[in-house]
Amino acid sequence: MSEVHLRRRSDGALELRVNGVFVMDDLETSSERLLARHVIDLGSRDVLVGGLGLGFTLRELLGSPDIDRVRVAELHPEIVQWMRDGTLPGADLLADPRAHVVVGDVRDVVASQPLASLDAICLDVDNGPGFLVHQDNAAVYRSTFVETCAARLRAGGHLAIWSMADSVELRAVLDASFERVTVTAVPVDLQGRDEHYWVLTGSGPLGGRVARVRAPA
């Protein structure tokens, strides 16, 4: 059973922790917003987001008039409830008729979507492979789930994954299921330190059979 905590720090930032482990705050959110901006700029209209968090990815998506529908999968019901009752900012997001929040594991929520039904999937449920808050989320970055995502995307669709660090292994997993893989470094200011977060994107799902027999480039 996970314990989810929200607190206002002495520097004024709102901070989310799960089982005592830092998940995110609202000070540096450029990479969460870029995750959304990236798929908007690629022409997506119907998007599934893994991880509601403090709602920055969702807000960026809903801020675009080009977005028709956003499904959000959030594991922890407390976070959705806090956003609904005003404990967390974002009640306006949940009231947007284009937004549909489902409480559940993103792996189950993606698997329940019809095949070839989404333009993009944005995954920001954990810190990326190698820096997990929830050990179960290791599966999110492995080929079985990435193939499941690819199969739910329309031709030319995109799977964009937030990560604390670039990952050769994750690039390879994406490369096996998509025509193109792009890696974007997002400069972030972490309390005075210049660092980067990363968005790894697979575009153009190959389809299971093609993905397995594709010749090396």
Ligand X SMILES: C[S@@+](CC[C@H](N)C(=O)[O-])C[C@H]1O[C@@H](n2cnc3c(N)ncnc32)[C@H](O)[C@@H]1O
List of residues contacting ligand X (CB under 6 A): 23-24, 32, 50-57, 73-76, 79, 105-106, 124-126, 134, 137
Question: In the bound complex, what is the minimum distance in angstroms from residue 46's beta carbon to ligand X?
Answer: 18
Question: In the bound complex, what is the minimum distance in angstroms from residue 216's beta carbon to ligand X?
Answer: 32
Q: Of the two residues 75 and 170, which places its CB atom closer to ligand X in the complex?
A: 75
Q: Of the two residues 51 and 202, which places its CB atom closer to ligand X in the complex?
A: 51
The candidate with the shortest Cα–Cα distance to 122, out of 175, 183, 44, is 44
Question: In the bound complex, what is the minimum distance in angstroms from residue 79's beta carbon to ligand X?
Answer: 5
Kindly report the three-state secondary structure assignment for every residue of 178-209: EEEEEEEEEEEEECCEEEEEEEEEEEEECCHH
Question: In the bound complex, what is the minimum distance in angstroms from residue 176's beta carbon to ligand X?
Answer: 22
N residues, the chain? 217
The CA distances from residue 176 to 21, 95, 122, 141, in Å, are: 32, 38, 18, 13
Containing H/E element for 213?
Answer: helix 208-213
Residue nearest to ligand X (CB): 53
Q: Of the two residues 136 and 207, which places its CB atom closer to ligand X in the complex?
A: 136
Half-sphere exposure of 157 toward its Cβ, with a 13 Å CA cutoff? 26
Q: Of the two residues 105 and 119, which places its CB atom closer to ligand X in the complex?
A: 105
